[in-house]
């Protein structure tokens, strides 16, 4: 049956190729969109995984950006014997750089993080941030309007140590450049806490988040639980736990991308139905003959569905290879995180085969229900 199906498809090469092209475009589209989503998720998860210690935010806040915690809890947490240091942070977005408007959506926005250098500056223990400095130096307690910029900011804005960068109308002197390897943190900058407080109009007794550095990293989860238990209205999570939460947010994004992909898939499916319908209509006489020589309705259905499933399998594999190759080519060019996971590959392949199967059902039914005499006579 498969061999006959294969021969039938080969006998009309152009038409088969057109159906394959439609399907390949659909598969490549799905791979493109989902690989971007998977890539972003992996990067953010990785970035958050790099977070040290316990992150303390306002209870049920959507993100640290929208959270406000009281600075008076700093001393309380600092009192825990497991705690090394409690580092307050203020987050904000740059809306203008050197007088030009920017936004995160258009891809040139910068996340600005206000930190207390005294709490985060010692390499080895609390010095996670300082350990990523690749040029210049880390912030000092005496700094007022100094900044450490991410590598991407340095490249995009053509800044280096000694340059001045104006954020939301306030000038900062670049004292260091940091490279984290994560595209999100490389597009951020660190400034002293007080400067951030003024820049983002944060009340004197509030910060967005606290990072609690732990003496023994194995006690991270224990300390997180202890903080939630002892202090009201806060959520305390380790970086990896936090990453898990963010990951679930990305499931919604996936759903959105899959919905867009569905349009591409539908187009591919309509292509298959169209091809198979035309192919069936051209072969009415053949199906009449097959019925006359003893093929049953289900035999004929199986033949037509086999043909469309073959298109699905070949289109799926070809689309996967092309999609994977394009992702490999696009990744360094776009500088965008894209990943083709095994799950994505398997899903896309299954989708293509299902599309072949479903796309072939209606034409197959039409072929199987033909009256053999009329089919032979009028072809």
Partner 1 sequence: MAKKIIEVKDVHKYFKLGETLVHALRGVSLTINEGDFIFIIGPSGSGKSTLLHLLGALDVPTEGRITFEGKNLAELDEDVLSIIRRKKIGFIFQAFNLMQSLTAIDNVTIPLVPAGVNEQVAKAKAAKLMAMLGLKDRMQHTPNQLSGGQQQRVAIARALINDPIIVLADEPTGEVDSQTGNEIFDYLRMMNKKFKKTFVIVTHDTEYMKKGDKIFKIHDGKIVT
CA distance 297 to 370: 9
Residue from 141, 249, 260, 292 in contact with partner 1 (CB under 8 A): 292
**Residue 10 touches partner 1, criterion: CB under 8 A:** yes
Which range of residues in 7-15, 19-27, 209-217, 322-330 is near partner 1 by CB under 8 A? 7-15
Closer by beta carbon to partner 1, 205 or else 282: 282
Q: Which residues pair with 25 in a beta bridge?
A: none
Using CB under 8 A as the binding rule, whether residue 372 contacts partner 1 is answered as yes
| Paired strand residues for 150 | 178
17 belongs to the binding site for partner 1 (CB under 8 A): no
C-alpha torsion angle, residues 157, 159, 165, 167 (rounded to 10): 40
For residue 291, state whether it binds partner 1 (rule: CB under 8 A).
Answer: yes
Residues 159-170 as b/e (b if ≥16 CB within 10 A, e otherwise) read beeebebebeee
CB of 373 to partner 1, least distance (A): 5
Shortest Cβ 269–partner 1 spacing (Å): 24
Stretch that binds partner 1, among 130-138, 208-216, 261-269, 369-377 (CB under 8 A): 369-377
If we measure between CA atoms, which residue out of 117, 120, 153, 119 comes closest to residue 135?
Answer: 153
Q: If phi over 0 gives left and psi between -120 and 50 gives alpha, with beta otherwise, what is residue 336?
A: beta
Taking the CB of residue 329, how many other CB atoms lie within 10 A of it?
10
Single out the residue of 131, 160, 216, 299 in contact with partner 1 (rule: CB under 8 A). 299
* Candidate ranges 8-16, 69-77, 252-260, 318-326; the one touching partner 1 (CB under 8 A): 8-16
Q: How far apart are alpha carbons 43 and 336 in whole angstroms? A: 10
Choices 151-159, 292-300, 331-339, 358-366 (CB under 8 A): range interacting with partner 1: 292-300
**Residue number with CB closer to partner 1 (242 or 284):** 284
Does residue 297 interact with partner 1 by CB under 8 A? yes
**Which contacts (CB < 8 Å, 24+ apart) does range 6-9 have?**
6/310, 8/279, 8/283, 8/303, 8/307, 9/307, 9/310, 9/311
- Name the token pair of 261: 């992909």
Closer residue to partner 1 (CB): 245 or 282: 282
Q: Which residues bind partner 1 (CB under 8 A)?
A: 1, 3-4, 7-8, 10-11, 285-286, 289-297, 299, 372-373, 376
């Amino acid at each position: 049956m498969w061999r006959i199906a294969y021969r039938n498809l080969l006998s009309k090469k152009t038409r088969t190729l057109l159906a394959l092209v439609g399907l390949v475009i659909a598969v490549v589209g799905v791979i493109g969109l989902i690989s971007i989503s998977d890539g972003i998720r992996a990067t953010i998860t990785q970035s958050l995984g790099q977070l040290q210690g316990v992150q303390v935010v306002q209870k049920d806040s959507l993100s640290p950006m929208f959270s406000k915690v009281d600075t008076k809890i700093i001393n309380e947490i600092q009192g825990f014997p497991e705690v090394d240091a409690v580092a307050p942070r203020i987050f904000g977005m740059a809306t203008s750089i050197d007088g030009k408007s920017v936004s995160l959506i258009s891809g040139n926005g910068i996340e600005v993080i206000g930190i207390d250098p005294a709490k985060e500056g010692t390499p080895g223990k609390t010095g996670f941030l300082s350990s990523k400095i690749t040029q210049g130096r880390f912030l000092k307690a005496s700094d007022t309007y100094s900044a450490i910029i991410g590598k991407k900011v340095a490249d995009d804005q053509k800044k280096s140590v000694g340059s001045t960068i104006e954020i939301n109308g306030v000038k900062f002197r670049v004292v260091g450049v940091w490279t984290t390897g994560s595209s999100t943190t490389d597009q951020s900058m660190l400034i002293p806490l007080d400067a951030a407080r003024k820049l983002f109009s944060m009340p004197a007794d509030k910060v967005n988040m606290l990072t609690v550095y732990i003496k023994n990293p194995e006690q991270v989860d224990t300390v997180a639980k202890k903080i939630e238990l002892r202090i009201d209205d806060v959520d305390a999570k380790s970086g990896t736990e936090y990453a898990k939460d963010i990951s679930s947010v990305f499931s919604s994004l996936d759903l959105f991308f899959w919905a867009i992909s569905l349009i591409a898939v539908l187009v591919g499916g309509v292509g298959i139905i169209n091809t198979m319908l035309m192919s069936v209509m051209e072969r009415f006489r053949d199906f009449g003959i097959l019925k006359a020589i003893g093929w049953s309705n289900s035999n004929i259905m199986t033949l037509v569905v086999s043909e469309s499933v073959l298109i699905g399998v070949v289109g799926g594999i070809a689309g996967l290879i092309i999609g994977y190759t394009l992702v490999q080519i696009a990744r360094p060019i776009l500088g965008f995180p894209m990943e083709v996971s095994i799950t994505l590959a398997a899903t896309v392949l299954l989708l293509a085969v299902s599309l072949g199967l479903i796309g072939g059902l209606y034409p197959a039914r039409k072929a199987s229900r033909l009256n053999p005499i009329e089919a032979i006579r009028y072809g």
